[in-house]
Amino acid sequence: MFGSKWVRCSVLLGTAVLAAASWSATASPARAEDVIRFGAPLPLTGPLAPEGIKQKEGYDLWAEQANKAGGISVGGKKYKVEIVYSDYQSNTPRAVQTTEQMITQDNVNFLFGAFGSGAAKAASTVSEKYKVPTIAAAASSVQVYDQGYKYFFGTFTPNDTLTTPLTQIVKAKAPDVKKVAILARNDLFPLAIAQEMEKSAKANGLEVVYFEKYAIGTLDHSAALSQIKSLSPQWIFITGYVNDLLLARKQMVDQEIKAPVVTMIAGPAYRDFIDSAGKSAENLTSASWWHPAEEYQGKDVFGSTSNFVKLFHAKYNYDPDYGQASAAVCGALFQLAIEKADSLDRDKVRDALASLDVVTFWGPVKFGANGQINSLEPPVFQIQNAKPVVLFPEAIKQGDLQLGVN
């Protein structure tokens, strides 16, 4: 169920990233003064490669659409988009080094943040030092935005906007759920969202009978899962990234661990997780910051949610998830801010970002004083019949919570 498909996926990803790691995206040759350079440090190899590749797909699609439309308008002139990529190999210190290199050696105009709350926070010290506007496509933890920085922005709402509605749904639909077990990757985002889950559970009268962390790079969850099984929780909540969660789910099946509710964040939001997990993905619950079922008419280069999905599918032959969508909207927001500022001056673009109040294909975008978006209502979903079914919010609800994960 997991083995051969998972291995093939890893081999294909590894082959793809070797070609992608040093690639710089431009639609056509252009004079240096006619180009706006965006730096994108990404984990294109290592354990976070699946997530890094998704972000690259989103950035590439935005660059392609921006350049097809003639580029970004500044002072009556059109500038082509160029994205400079660098692989920091899923290593946070390298992400910091790469970010500085992009500013001091690659001469990028603006930056996309490193992947994940931990790397994004670490690298944000560099972009703040050089006063380079940066938008992070995957940083939700409030600890990323508590530094008083002025040049750092993010497209993810705080973690409790995912855990609170999820807990309320479970409490309403499954009143017999009383005990919760939480297993978290010891990394900034996975740990932070697990801690928010603990708060949400206790606030709703649930007992947290287990809360443990596993180290980054853990290759065996069986001991932790065995301990969870002995406690007989009705809700098992595990955080991590795709490879972490595929392994955990496989070992749950091996140990015949069952519960009325099993939640994993953030793996089930990705199509490759669902395909690799197969039948064992059924009825897993999760939450994310965007879903293709949403329908917004935006003022960005994509125009609408449905058009973004259509363009993405045409380019990559599968539907996007929140990872690619968040990356694409980062580019679209830079485009809107640059054109609003009518300048490439970093301070003016920074001010334009801070004052944005606009609807995009991603949804309404407005940044709080700390730089974190505060205008979205993230969807909660469940895998049903091998597809994500939205349970919340009501405006895009597609189905109801189903209990029982085998």
Residues 284 and 185 in one domain: yes
Does a structural domain hold residue 372?
no
Residues 114 and 82 in one domain: yes
Does a structural domain hold residue 86?
yes
At 363, which amino acid appears?
G
User: pLDDT value at position 6?
Assistant: 37
Does a structural domain hold residue 260?
yes
Per DSSP, the three-state class of 406 is coil
CA distances from 354 to 247, 369, 371, 397 (A): 40, 8, 7, 31
Query: What does 50-98 look like in DSSP terms, one character per residue?
Result: HHHHHHHHHHHHHHHHHHHTT-EEETTEEEEEEEEEEE-TT-HHHHHHH
Does a structural domain hold residue 1?
no
Hey, what are 180's tokens? 């919760």
User: pLDDT value at position 226?
Assistant: 98
Residues 210 and 103 in one domain: no
Residues 233 and 314 in one domain: no
Residues 24 and 134 in one domain: yes
User: By CB neighbour count within 10 A (0-12 exposed, 13-18 middle, 19+ buried), where does 210 fall?
Assistant: middle
User: pLDDT value at position 41?
Assistant: 97
Hey, what are 351's tokens? 């001010």
User: pLDDT value at position 295?
Assistant: 85
Residues 197 and 299 in one domain: no
User: pLDDT value at position 33?
Assistant: 63
- Residue numbers of the domain that contains 209: 160-288+379-396
Does a structural domain hold residue 350?
yes
Residues 31 and 153 in one domain: yes
User: pLDDT value at position 12?
Assistant: 37
Hey, what are 380's tokens? 């909660």
Does a structural domain hold residue 10?
no
Helices 322-341 and 49-68, axial angle in degrees (round to 10) = 40
Q: Tokens 């015949």 map to which residue?
A: 256
pTM for the full model? 0.81
Q: For position 73, which CATH number holds?
A: 3.40.50.2300
Residues 238 and 177 in one domain: yes
What string of pLDDT tens digits covers the 406 residues of the chain?
Answer: 334 333 333 333 343 433 344 444 433 334 446 999 999 999 999 999 999 999 999 999 999 999 999 999 999 999 999 999 999 999 999 999 999 999 999 999 999 999 988 999 999 999 999 999 999 999 988 889 999 999 999 999 999 999 999 999 999 999 999 999 999 999 988 999 999 999 999 999 999 999 999 999 999 999 999 999 999 999 999 999 999 999 999 999 999 999 999 999 989 988 889 999 999 999 999 999 998 888 899 999 999 999 999 999 999 999 999 999 999 999 999 999 999 999 999 999 999 999 999 999 999 999 999 999 999 889 999 999 999 999 999 988 999 999 998 7
Does a structural domain hold residue 405?
no
Residues whose CB falls within 8 Å of the CB of residue 333, separated by 6 or more in sequence, listed in order = 135, 153, 155, 300, 353, 356, 360, 365
Please tell me the total count of domains within the chain.
2
User: pLDDT value at position 22?
Assistant: 40
Does a structural domain hold residue 242?
yes
Residues 243 and 392 in one domain: yes
Residues 22 and 58 in one domain: yes
Residues 226 and 152 in one domain: no
Residues 153 and 165 in one domain: no
CA distances from 14 to 40, 310, 351 (A): 19, 27, 39
User: pLDDT value at position 246?
Assistant: 97
